[in-house]
Structure 1
Amino acid sequence: MVGIRSEEVARMSQVEIRKADERFRTRTDWLDSRHSFSFGPHYDPRNTHFGLLLVSNDDVVRPGAGFPPHDHQDMEIVTWVLSGALAHEDSAGNAGVIRPGLVQRMTAGAGIRHSEMNASDTEPVRFVQMWVVPDQTGLTPSYEQADVSARLDSDYLVPVASGRPEHRPAVRIHQRDATLYVARLPVGHDVTLPAAPFVHLYVAEGGVYLEASGPLDAGDAARITGSEGHRVTATEPAEILVWEMYSMLRSA
C-alpha cells in the first residue's frame, strides 16, 4: 500500500456509521476479539482500512492467557488498555505493563518479535490495539509508553500517540499524518472532533451523540471523510478514541 496526501481527497464531508454488531469477531477459550477491519481469517475487500488505520481490535483476554511471541514488520502499533493490565515483552529487550491511562507504542520496523499477556491470574484484560503504516519502511524497532492519566480528566481530546512533535508527551509514532486522541466524558460534556480529511471515532465505553448523525453506543464507530469538526456529546459516561489522519492508503 502507498499513501495519498489529503490534497488528493475530495473535501465533501461524509459520515459512515459502523455499529458494534457489524464487526468481525474471533472467539476462543481465552480470547474475545472484535475487529473493525478485515483481520486474519476475516476478510471483506470493502472493509480493509480507513485513512491510515489498518487495524482496530477490541480484545478481551482471560486471566493468565495472551498472545505468545509472534512477529511484526513495518507497522506502528498503539495499544490502549480499558481495564486490567497487559504485559509486553519483545526481542529488542523491551518489557512493560500497561494499565488504563498508559499508552504504548511499538515500532515494528525492520522486524520484531513480541508477546502480549494478561498480567493478572485473576482478572481479564480489555484493550484496543490499533495499527497504522509508518512513513518509511525498515526503521529500527523501538518501544515507548507514557502515563497520560492526569490529562484525561478534562473536557478536551488528549493526544496520546502522534507523529507531530508538538503533541509531546504523547508517544511518538513514525507517521506524521496520524494522531490518536482519547477523551473521557461525563454525561452532558462534549468535545469537537478534528477538522481533517479522515477522522475515525470509536466509542470504547458508554454512549455519545454525534452531531448530525445520532446516538452511538459502546463498540460503535464513525468513519468521517472530510471532517468539518463534528461535536460529540456524552449521553452516559463515555471513553472515546479518535484518529485524526491527513492521508489515506490505496493498493500499490
Structure 2
Amino acid sequence: MITLRLASERGKANFGWLDSKHSFSFGSYYDPEHMGFSALRVINDDSVTPGAGFATHGHRDMEIISYVLEGSIAHKDSEGNVEVLPAGEFQLMSAGSGISHSEYNASKTESLKFLQIWIQPNTLGNTPGYQQKNFGQAVGLTTIATPTGDKGTLQIKQNATLSQLILAPNSEITYQVTVGRKVYVHQVAGQLSIDEQNLSAGDGAKLTDITTVTLVNPADTQSTALIFDLP
C-alpha cells in the first residue's frame, strides 16, 4: 500500500527568522494521525534567515540527520565539534546519553535551507557521536546511512538505511523492499511517480506491504528524493 503525505497538508511554523514545514507532529504542531512512521520521527523543511539560527539546546536518545539544500550550517556541540556544513552535506549527530548543540546560518547575507530528520535509536544511553560527509550527486541510488557504517556510509544506531535517489529526466528504476520492512520516500526536488502515484517537492509516501515498486521521473528536470528503509 502507498499512502501519500502531501506537502500542502504538513504542519507549519513561522517565527520570522525560521520558516518550517513538518511532515510529522513537532513543536506546537500536533496531529495524532502523523506522529511518525516506524522509527522515523521527524522530517522538517527548515528555511533560516541570514545570521539566524537555533541557540544551544539539548537532545538525548535520538539520531538527528541534517541535509543542507542551500547555504551552509555553522554547527557547534558539547562534544567539541565545531563544523560548517555546506550545501550537499549530510550530518548525523547521535544524541545518545545527552548532547547540546547550536545550529546557525553560517552566512550573513544568504538564506539557509535544510532538512532536519530524527530517527529513534534501537538502544538508549549510547555515547554521543558526530559524523559528516558529502556523498555527491551521482545518478541512481546512493546509500547514506546504515547500521554498520560499511562502505563509507554514516553509521546510524537503528536497523534503518537512508539512501539518496537521483533520477535523470524521463528515467526510472525498480526498487525492491525486503519482506516485513517499511519504506518512506521524501521528495526533495523535482517530480517522482511511485507506481503511478505522483510526488512533488515536499511530498512524502509511506510504503507498506510492498515488495517491488517502480520509481519514475516523468519530468524534463532531475528528480531528487530520500528513501528510508525502516523496521
The answer, yes or no, to whether TM exceeds 0.5 is yes
**1:53-132 equivalence runs, <5 A:** 53-132=40-119
Deviation, structure 1 residue 227: 2.8
Say whether the 8 Å CA contact 1:78–1:161 is kept in structure 2.
no
- Give the RMSD, CA atoms, in angstroms: 1.3
Q: Which amino acid aligns with 2:198?
A: P
1:189 aligns with 2:171: yes
SS in 2 for 1:123: coil
Partners of 2:72 and 2:4 lie apart in 1 by 30
Partners of 1:232 and 1:100 lie apart in 2 by 25
**Quick one: which of 204, 209, 214 aligns to 1:226?**
209
Structure 1 178/122 Cα, relative in aligned 2: closer, same or farther at 3 Å? same
**Quick one: which of 191, 194, 198 aligns to 1:207?**
191
Aligned partner of 1:18 in structure 2 is 5
Deviation, structure 1 residue 208: 1.4
Partners of 2:95 and 2:130 lie apart in 1 by 9
SS in 2 for 1:158: strand
Partners of 2:36 and 2:25 lie apart in 1 by 8
With structure 1 as the length reference, what TM-score do the two structures score? 0.86
For structure 2, the 5+ residue unaligned runs are none
Partners of 1:79 and 1:229 lie apart in 2 by 28
Say whether the 8 Å CA contact 1:54–1:132 is kept in structure 2.
yes
SS in 1 for 2:92: strand
SS in 2 for 1:88: strand
Q: Which amino acid aligns with 1:203?
A: Q
Number of residue pairs the alignment of both structures matches:
227
Say whether the 8 Å CA contact 1:60–1:126 is kept in structure 2.
yes
Partners of 1:192 and 1:116 lie apart in 2 by 37
Q: How many percent identity over aligned positions? A: 38
Deviation, structure 1 residue 194: 4.0
For structure 1, the 5+ residue unaligned runs are 1-13, 248-252
SS in 1 for 2:27: coil
**Quick one: which of 199, 222, 227 aligns to 1:237?**
222
